[in-house]
A and B are shown apart, each in its own frame.
Chain A
């Protein structure tokens, strides 16, 4: 029982990170029908920049806010320079290559300047775990699911109750029609990538105290976040959140009861099977086109 509780607790924490990354992919896809494959590195910026700013003397929260702002700016720049020019044609895929290339450059640059090793990010919430019998969790890890819920509802509210959010939904629904009613679709897309950048960096900022901030911290997380988004159905916000959390818990159960070494192989296999059965994603809807 202690073991199950442990797997659920750590699974919730890890799954919340996957869900936040997947949520970022959802935001970008909704606006541009393209994503930023450097997103794992934007997640990394959240942790690494916070450490750098703290080392420069900024208080933790200010440093975290600064990191989020820079990551949002990075998201916007990536959209403007590396996605938009390569996503003009229908079915264009040039943005895949450019964003992957930028991701490699970003990680290399961080390795050169920040160093290849992880650095600690001290917060009061990783000093003492909360123990329940033989299980335990750091308060910092509990912040992650809470932050996920807040971000999800905030995003929902933003999309439904603000002019900007409604404009984003309009662009997501029909980019041309949105343009005809006066919405600057390019500007909205730019803002969506910036928003996604901030969400990714928030996940990096929150998990860094637990796992150390390093230049390579986003590689696997970015990949799994994207996989979660695809499996869930990338156009469904609630779906990506649910699948992200479930995948995190499932990973821990696989580690606990099947194999730690084969965790990713088993997890990916299950996801591929799920995609075979639900090609539109678990929460996706089949797109209907008039012909």
Chain B
């Protein structure tokens, strides 16, 4: 009775408490996208679409849009059409983080796809963890993109090369081609180039070798004579190169000036454009990669190339796929995403993440069985066994076994 006699205050308090509880739930609800269990059937992408790296975003886009068209033509995913939501990050990490927030919280996509630059991918570690948003890299090869220093990478996956695995591959190729065992390293003065130094040094040590010379250059440098003179004086006959097309062209020009012709075994920063800018000087340069669209292609890869050309008329042929490995990785990654969504059975990020460890897919780059394993080292889908040596021959970047450079020069 007493409680009935004095109901106003307790009732008001109960009402306030209820309202507070509702408001709290609403606030939790507002925060829900960060922890959302349901997502949209879209691939959110943060790529370099404008600025000096605009060509890299375009090369990925060719493959992803073509693959999505194929997937949707075959019925889509779980009865829904797969969509692409692409944002431009201009190669800037801060913009990539903003884009990740949009993709994860506003667009609520099931997965995010990364672009060219390793620093952009590294900047995404914490935001992706906070949002519980799976991320799929297709180019950025930095080891720490996948192998996080805390050992707890949960959301970042990659269908690309890994620098730590590339270094032994390059060292082995260089060792097999060096006549005198004098191998040098030339790298660009960027995070990627400098990051390769310990990887290559360790790989050389593991192979029982030491670097006979180590040289660097700045981006946009036009002449590398000084570095090459030192390498020549050190009797280096094979160079492991971490650089991109423009500086690689200037490097072979400097070699031509000096009449010094060591064998170059390059990481995959050197792409198809190198053949156009270096001309005959590109002949015989060896590049590590996962794929090339030039030379003899499988029937399936030929079909993919034709569909890319049909969708993007500016692609006149394989010579316009400037980052051949990146484009092929992106194509496979898109299919792996679609197959994983089907395997998960629902459009849910955690279910998607778990399914990534079970998905199998026969791609144009390699056979992914399974694509990923539940330890961070194997959040990389392309294992070193699938890495290939490519070589420039007659102005084309083709599989090395289709060139005269397949046999180590002894």
Task: Contact check, A6 vs B53: say whether CB atoms are below 8 A apart.
Answer: no
- Report B82 CB to chain A, min CB distance, Å: 29
A42 to B256, CA, bound (A): 29
B23-59 Cβ-contact flags toward A at 8 Å (1 or 0): 0000000000000000000000000001111110000
What is the size, in residues, of chain B's interface with A at 8 Å between Cβ atoms? 35
A119 & B258 in contact (Cβ 8 Å cutoff):
no
Interface segment out of the listed B120-128, B245-253, B332-340, B362-370? B245-253
Task: Find out whether the CB atom of A10 lies under 8 angstroms from the CB atom of B223.
Answer: yes
Task: Determine whether the beta carbon of A116 is less than 8 Å from that of B232.
Answer: no
B98 contacts the other chain (CB 8 A) = no
Interface: B227 (CB within 8 A)? yes
Contact across chains for A216 and B52 when beta carbons are under 8 A apart:
yes
How far is it, in angstroms, between the C-alpha of A2 and the C-alpha of B223 when the chains are bound? 16
**A14 B223 Cβ-Cβ under 8 A:** yes
> Could you say which of A71-79, A82-90, A258-266 contacts chain B?
A258-266
- B259 touching A131, Cβ below 8 Å: yes
Contact of B52 among A111, A207, A212 (CB under 8 A): A111
B279 touches A120 (CB 8 A): yes
Cβ-defined contact, B229 with A6, below 8 A = yes
A214 within 8 A of B: yes
Report the interface size for chain A: residues with CB under 8 A from the other chain: 41
Q: Which of B269-285 contact A (CB under 8 A)?
A: 273, 276-277, 279
For the complex, what is the distance from the CA of A137 to the CA of B322, rounded to whole Å?
Answer: 30
Say yes or no: is B202 at the interface (Cβ < 8 Å to chain A): no
Contacting pair B246 A260 (CB below 8 A) = no
Question: Which listed residue, A2, A115, A255, touches B55 by the CB 8 Å rule?
Answer: A115
Q: Tell whether, in the assembled complex, residue A134 and residue B258 are in contact, meaning their CB atoms are under 8 Å apart.
A: yes
Task: Output the nearest chain B residue to A111 by Cβ-Cβ distance.
Answer: B52
Query: Please, how many angstroms separate the alpha-carbon atoms of A149 and B225 in the complex?
Result: 25
Min CB–CB distance A8 → chain B (angstroms): 11
Residues 232-263 of chain A: 1 if any B CB is under 8 Å from the residue's CB, otherwise 0?
Answer: 00000000000000000000100110001101
B394 contacts A by Cβ under 8 Å:
no
The answer to whether A118 touches B54, judged by C-beta atoms less than 8 angstroms apart, is no
- Residue numbers in B under 8 Å from A215 (CB-CB): 52
Q: Which residue of B lies closest to A141 (CB)?
A: B257
Q: Is B222 an interface residue (CB 8 A)?
A: yes
Is there contact, CB below 8 Å, between B258 and A118? no
Q: Give bound CA distance, A215 to B51, whole Å.
A: 10
Taking the closest CB of chain B, its distance from the CB of A9, in whole angstroms, is 9
CA distance A10 to B229 in the complex (A): 13
Whether A150 is near chain B, meaning CB under 8 Å from some CB there, is no
Contacts of B223 in A (CB 8 A): 10, 14, 252
- In the complex, B189 has a CB within 8 A of chain A: yes
CB distance from A140 to the nearest CB of B (A): 11
Closest to B230 in A: A256
Task: Write the A200-219 contact mask toward B (1 if CB under 8 angstroms, else 0).
Answer: 00000001001110111101
Stretch at the interface among B145-153, B213-221, B351-359: B213-221
Near B by CB (< 8 A), chain A positions 105-151 give 108, 111-112, 115-120, 122, 126, 129, 131, 134-138
Q: Is B226 an interface residue (CB 8 A)?
A: yes
A220 within 8 A of B: yes
Q: Hey, which chain B residues are within 8 Å of A111, CB to CB?
A: 50-52, 54
A3 within 8 A of B: yes
B175 CB to closest chain A CB, in angstroms? 26
Q: Which residues of chain B are within 8 angstroms of A10 by Cβ–Cβ distance?
A: 223, 225, 257
**Residue-by-residue, is B193-230 near A (CB-CB < 8 Å gives 1, otherwise 0)?**
00000000000000000000001111011110111010
B259 touches A120 (CB 8 A): no
Q: Give the contacting residue for B273; candidates A2, A117, A129; CB below 8 A.
A: A117
The 6 residue pairs across chains A and B that have the minimum distance between CB atoms: A255-B226, A136-B257, A256-B226, A211-B222, A116-B52, A129-B257
**Could you show 24 A-B contacts with beta carbons less than 8 Å apart?**
A3-B226, A6-B257, A111-B54, A116-B53, A116-B55, A117-B245, A117-B246, A118-B245, A118-B246, A120-B276, A135-B257, A136-B256, A136-B257, A137-B257, A212-B250, A214-B246, A252-B226, A255-B225, A255-B227, A260-B217, A261-B189, A261-B216, A261-B218, A263-B218
| B residues in contact (CB < 8 Å) with A | 50-55, 189, 215-218, 220-223, 225-227, 229, 232, 245-246, 249-250, 253, 256-260, 273, 276-277, 279, 322
Given contacts A7-B225, A108-B51, A134-B229, could you give 13 more A-B pairs where the C-beta distance is less than 8 Å?
A112-B50, A117-B322, A129-B257, A134-B259, A136-B257, A136-B258, A210-B253, A212-B250, A216-B220, A255-B225, A256-B226, A260-B215, A263-B218
